[in-house]
Amino acid sequence: MQSKRVSFSKRVFASLVLGLIFGFGLQYVYGPQSEIIATSTDWFNIVGTGYIRLLQMIVMPLIFISILMAFTKLKLSNHLGKISTLVIGILVGTTAIAAAIGIAAAVVFDLEAIQIEQGESEAQRGAQLEETYAEIEGQTLPQQIVALIPSNPFLDLTGTRPTSTIAVVIFSIILGISYLGLKRNQPEHADLFATAVEVLYSLIMGVVKMVIRLTPYGVLAIMTRTVATSDLSAILSLGKFVTASYVALIAMFLVHLLLLLVNGLNPVTYVKKAFPVLAFAFTSRTSAGALPLNISTQKRLGVSDGIANLAGSFGLSIGQNGCAGIYPAMLAVMIAPTVGIDALTPSFLLMLIVVVAISSFGVAGVGGGATFAAIIVLSVMDLPVALAGLMISIEPLIDMGRTAVNVSGSMTSGILTSKLTGDLDTNMYHDHNQTLEVQA
């Protein structure tokens, strides 16, 4: 397909469909518990899990260098505080809206955790979540805030802490602010630093492109493994939960389009230009891996380099509308009745929306971010964390939509910030020739 110059997004979707067909075929012939499937999965993991590990490998360097690049490219340095506040405010604000939508979806579809049968895999997942919760249990809010502050940035660059992502963001911002001071006092040194950052950015982007080229193969292996080893009867029994999740995700995407429309921007143009990156996010299930395409798409929508890099980078760790907004809110409403809490009381709903919005800081952009967000929200709301494991059988299916909404929220924050600061190139936004095609 590549030799015939088929577009990257079409190749990725083709691999998704092939993975589904191959996985269903293996399950039909051998069954999900077959020893042959288990052995084959080990070989699939070389490509599938290897692809995910490569994505994880580039997350921290990508965040670090993208934020530094934002400072070196930011023309409106005098308005840095306003720009950052707008980006973060839009991300957190849309996450609060996402939480409200998640609550509404759970109520309309009458979702309750007691409707789900707990099997062996769900019990194991629940035990893992409790172990994760035990590591952060007992911390006061001030202690949690202190945990976000980097003490050893080199350690955080390895991603060893749950809060490593936001710590790297903070460290990068501190360096960026220092660069702005250097630019005023010693412009020649600042120019050298900016050149070094640009070189390093190009180097990291080269690595990213190499990894992205593997996406069709990674998606094929991951989907084959997921479908071949899935308990289809469990997935079918959770069809209502999948439907409710996607209704909420689609509703949140429509909110993004409505925000653009209210600000005088054509939402249809946004959809056309954003489709390739949203397709990549949907199939790869990684917001971080989509960062280069995210930034490129924003620039083709008229957003300046600096704001595009800031919005894209902040969106990886703050206010992920799908993973940190809709998902934990739905879970909280589903789980509340199991401990005798009326989830429809105004005080509970208001508290839940506030907690979801605040807890959306520090959610990682590669696999596991939604789980971490759910643990934080459920623990703050005094709900049993282990019950979040009931959704394990449909996690991959829902995660695809969540990731696409995360990326859309990030791009929307960049576009709206540019529009509100008068920095958006509206001619480029409406230029239909400015479309993105991944060269991979």
What does the pLDDT look like over 112-132, one tens digit per residue? Answer: 876 666 556 656 665 666 665
The yes-or-no verdict on residue 182 having pLDDT over 80 is yes
Residue 202 has pLDDT above 50, yes or no: yes
So what's the pLDDT on residue 440?
47
Q: Identify the pLDDT of residue 107.
A: 92
Closest CA relative to residue 70, chosen from 150, 176, 183, 170: 176
Identify the band that residue 431 occupies on the pLDDT scale cut at 50, 70 and 90.
confident
Q: Give the whole-angstrom CA distance, residue 292 versus residue 294.
A: 5
Does 72 score more than 90 pLDDT? no
What percent of the chain stands above pLDDT 70? Answer: 87
The separation between the first and the last C-alpha atoms of the chain, rounded to the nearest angstrom, is: 12
Residue 362 has pLDDT above 70, yes or no: no
| pLDDT of amino acid 118 | 59
pLDDT(219) > 70: yes
Q: Which residue has the higher pLDDT, 355 or 361?
A: 355
What is the overall mean pLDDT for the chain? 84
* pTM of the model as a whole: 0.83
Q: What pLDDT was estimated at residue 305?
A: 82
Q: For 304-313, 338-347, 376-385, which range has the lowest pLDDT when averaged over its residues? A: 376-385
Is it the case that residue 436 has pLDDT exceeding 90?
no
Higher pLDDT, 408 or 275: 408
Q: Are 66 and 291 in contact (CB under 8 A)?
A: yes
Residue 340 burial (10 A CB sphere; 0-12, 13-18, 19+): exposed
Average pLDDT over residues 391-395: 72
pLDDT at 367 over 80: no
Exposure pattern of 278-308 as b/e (b: 16+ CB <10 Å)? bbbbbbbbbbbbbbbbbbbbbbbbbbbbbbb
pLDDT digits (tens, 9 = 90+) for 4-19: 888 887 888 899 899 9
pLDDT tens digit sequence for 76-107: 456 778 888 999 999 999 999 999 999 999 99
| CB contact set of 51 (below 8 Å; sequence gap of 6+) | 211, 214, 215, 217, 218, 221, 222
Q: Given pLDDT bands bounded at 50, 70 and 90, which one contains residue 433? A: low
Higher pLDDT, 96 or 397: 96
What's the pLDDT at 222?
A: 85
Q: What pLDDT sits at residue 132?
A: 59
- What pLDDT score was predicted for residue 167? 84
Structure-token pair, residue 188 = 């020649």
Residue carrying the six token digits 């109520």 = 107
Which whole-number Å values give the CA distances from 170 to 153, 174, 183, 314, in the listed order? 9, 6, 20, 10
- pLDDT for 59: 79
Length in residues, the chain: 440
In angstroms, rounded to a whole number, what is the distance separating the alpha carbons of residues 76 and 359?
A: 30
Domain range list for the chain: 8-429
The greatest distance separating any two alpha carbons of the chain, rounded to the nearest whole angstrom, comes to: 70
Q: Which of 42-51, 180-189, 256-265 has the highest mean pLDDT?
A: 256-265
> Cβ of 147: how many Cβ atoms within 10 Å?
17
Residue 287 has phi, psi (to 5 degrees) of -70, -35
pLDDT at 98: 95
C-beta atoms surrounding 379 within 10 Å: 17
Q: How many angstroms separate the CA atoms of 388 and 383, rounded?
A: 10
What pLDDT score was predicted for residue 12? 84
Q: Domain spanning 8-429: which CATH class is it, in words?
A: mainly alpha
> Where is average pLDDT lowest: 52-66, 324-338, 412-426?
52-66
Provide the Cα torsion 207, 213, 217, 222; round to 10°: 50
Q: Is the pLDDT of residue 223 over 70?
A: yes
pLDDT for 22 beyond 90: yes
At 254, is the pLDDT very low, low, confident or very high (cuts 50, 70, 90)?
very high
- For the chain, the three-class secondary structure string (H helix, E strand, C coil) is CCCCCCCHHHHHHHHHHHHHHHHHHHHHHHCCCCHHHHHHHHHHHHHHHHHHHHHHHHHHHHHHHHHHHHHHHCCCHHHHHHHHHHHHHHHHHHHHHHHHHHHHHHHHCCCCHHHCCCCHHHHHHHHHHHHHHHHHCCCCHHHHHHHHCCCCHHHHCCCCCCCHHHHHHHHHHHHHHHHHHHHHHCHHHHHHHHHHHHHHHHHHHHHHHHHHCCHHHHHHHHHHHHHHHCCHHHHHHCHHHHHHHHHHHHHHHHHHHHHHHHCCCCHHHHHHHHHHHHHHHHHHCECCCCHHHHHHHHHHCCCCHHHHHHHHHHCCCECCHHHHHHHHHHHHHHHHHHHCCCCCCHHHHHHHHHHHHHHCECCCCECCHHHHHHHHHHHHCCCCHHHHHHHHHHHHHHHHHHHHHHHHHHHHHHHHHHHHCCCCCHHHHCCCCCCCCCCC
